[in-house]
Each structure stands twice: as structure tokens, then as C-alpha cells.
Chains A and B, each alone.
Chain A
Amino acid sequence: MAYINVEQGVPGIRSLVLFRPDTGKPLYELAQILLRGPSTLSPAERELIAAYVSSRNQCFFCTNSHAAAARCLYGDEGSVVDEALLDPENAGLTGKMKALLNIAGKVQILGKEVTELDILLAREQGADDREIHDTVLIAAAFSMFNRYVDGLASWTPTDPAAYAEMGRRMADKGYVLPQPVNQ
């Protein structure tokens, strides 16, 4: 049970933003810009960065929901998500995505872990300034979302079907601030 009095039966971050919608609004806007806004990285690639960081932070809710969204968005190539979460270096990803996941993994540890060499390797694989910026900020943002969700012990469903449904919704609709059911 969550540490604070949130609506029962509402999972993860959705319960927290319903508890405090005024902070929920910029949080959802940030997620929408970073994961769905105009970018040369596809929504599938950006969801994979989110799932990868969440997995390293051992946030079950965020890992499974964003992995499900990434699988939907990758379509026929959805299995690459599971490969990447297990072993990104040997997953069927582009060299650029591997280099960006390496940077995201460093950010997950701490900002200063990112070295000039990490950046150089990403550039050699074709990553530009904006892609590097967005990778760092997605990884940093999920270092926040993961802590928000687990730090308040929000409800984490364990049924895989619940995540498959969440992933479809996230792939179809993006990030829209949840509205209270009973008003």
C-alpha cells in the first residue's frame, strides 16, 4: 500500500499525479515532449531508453510499462526491447542506439559518470547534439520518475496483462494527465 492516501486501485504514477495534479501536469508534459515530441529518435527508441533506465533503477512499474509501450511501438521488431534490457551490447540495435543506451546507463549512476569518450563514441555512431541532450534528459527524468513511484510505494500491478494494456494505451495516446474518476 502506498505511503500516502492515494486512490485505491490506481497504479503507479497515475495514483500520485491524481493526489497532486498541479505537479502532475508538468510531469506529464515533460514525458510527452521527451518521449513523443518532434525528434530524430523514434518514440520506440525513446521508450526503450526510459525502460532501460527504469530497469537499472529496479523500478518494476516503470520498467514494465515503458517496455510494453516500446514493444508496441517497435511493432514486428518488439523482441529487441527484451534483448536490450538483458544485454544492450548484443541486442539487435543500431550502433547509435547502443552508444546512447551506454550514456543513459551512466546518467542512471550519476551525472558525472558520463565521460567525453562516451560522447565521442555516440558521435562516431552518428548521434547529434540534440539526440545526446535528449538521451541525457530522458535518463535523468526517469531517475526522477522511478524514485517518485517507488519512494512513495505506489501500487505496482504484477499481472503482465495489465502492463500490456498500459503499453498499448501509452503507444496510442501518449502522456495525458489522468482525470479523477469520481468528481
Chain B
Amino acid sequence: MPHIDLNNDLPGIRGLLAFRPEVAGPMGELANILLRDTDGLSPVDREFIATHVSWLNDCFYCHHSHGAIACHYLGGEMDLVDQVRNDYLHAPISEKLKALLTIAGKVQQAGKAVLPEDVENARRHGATDRDIHDTVLIAAAFCMFNRYVDGLAATTPTDLSTYGPRARQVAEKGYGNHIISEKQPAA
């Protein structure tokens, strides 16, 4: 049960944003730009970073939600999502993405944990300034989203089959106020 009375029964961050709609605008806009931009990193790469950081932060709602969105983009390759989530160094992904996931993992610990050699390694594998910027900001943003969701004990569905329909909704329409203002997708 959430720590505060949200006056709604929406799952995860949706319930929190419906309680405080003033912040839903900028938070949705931030997620939409960071996770759906196609410049440099693909939306799948971006969701992988979000999923991995959320997993490191032990945020069940966020790592399952973003893992499901990545899986949707990939046409159902859940094994790949699961491997990237917790064992990306051995996953069949590019060396560039591995180097960026390493940076994201450092950001999850603390900003100062990111070392010049981590950045040089990513550059060696082709990462641009924009890729590095977006990786750090996605990882930092999920250190916010994860703490927001778990810090208020937001409602976390344990039935994993409920994550797919919400993932499809986000994949099709993006992040934004529709996730709290429209009817929740049925399983």
C-alpha cells in the first residue's frame, strides 16, 4: 500500500503522477525525449539503459515496465532483455552499448564513480558526446524515477502479465499525460 493516500489505484508512477499532475508534464516530457529519441541511441538501447539501472536500484515496477517496453520494440525477445538487465557484458549487443551500460551502472552508484577511462572506452567503441550525455542523464533520471516509485511505496503489480499491455500503450503513444488520463490498458 502506498505511504500516502493517492486517491486512485493506478499502478506505479502512474498513481503518483495522478496525485500530483503538475509534475506529470515535465516528467513525461523528460522520459519521452530521453527514451524515444532516435538520434544516436535507438529507443531499444535507451530502454535497456533504463531497465538495467532500475534493476540495479531494485525497483521491481520500473525494471519490469521498461524491460517490457524494450521487449515490445524487439518483437518479443524477452531472453535478450533479461540478459541485458542483469548480465549485459555477455549479451549479444554492441561493444558500444556495453560500454555505455557500464557508464550507466557507475552513475547508479554515484556521479563521481564515472571515470575518464569509462568515457574513453565508450568513445573507442564509437560513442559520441550526445550518446554519453544521454546515457548519463537516462541513468540519473532513473535514479529519480526509481526512488520516487519505491520511496512512496507505489502500487506494484506482481502479475507480470499486466506489464505487456502498458508497455504496448507506451510504445505506441509515448510517455505523457495520456498514461494517467486515459483508460488503463486491459491485460
Contacts and interface: CB of A to CB of B under 8 A. Distances in A.
Contacts of B29: 25-26, 29
Given A110-B57, A151-B114, 20 more contacts: A16-B137, A20-B130, A20-B137, A26-B27, A33-B23, A34-B23, A58-B112, A111-B59, A111-B148, A114-B3, A132-B4, A139-B151, A140-B151, A141-B144, A143-B144, A143-B147, A147-B111, A148-B111, A148-B137, A151-B139
A22 interface: yes
Contact of A19 (B57, B133, B139): B133
Residue from A114, A139, A140 having most chain B Cβ neighbours under 10 A: A140
Interface of B: 3-5, 16, 19-20, 22-23, 25-27, 29-30, 33-34, 57-59, 103, 106-107, 110-112, 114, 116, 119, 129-130, 132-134, 136-137, 139-141, 143-153
B23 to A, nearest CB: 6
Interface string A6-44: 000000000010011011011101100110010000000
B148 A137 contact: yes
A47 B134 CA distance: 26
A3 B132 CA distance: 8
A150 B111 contact: yes
A141 B23 CA distance: 11
18 contacts: A3-B114, A3-B132, A19-B133, A25-B26, A26-B25, A33-B26, A34-B23, A57-B111, A112-B150, A114-B150, A114-B151, A114-B152, A136-B152, A144-B140, A144-B141, A146-B140, A147-B111, A151-B107
Contacts of A137: 20, 23, 148
A136 B16 CA distance: 11
A137 to B, nearest CB: 6
A49 B139 CA distance: 22
A145 to B, nearest CB: 7
Contact of B151 (A30, A34, A107, A146): A107
Contacts of B134: 20
Nearest to A141: B144
Contacts of B153: 114
Nearest to A127: B4
A158 interface: no
Interface residues of A, number: 50
Contacts of A22: 33
Interface string A118-146: 01000000000110111011011101111
A147 B139 contact: yes
Nearest to A144: B144
Contacts of B58: 110, 112
Nearest to B60: A112
Nearest to A34: B23
A57 B110 CA distance: 7
A94 interface: no
Nearest to A61: B111
Residue from A20, A34, A58 having most chain B Cβ neighbours under 10 A: A20
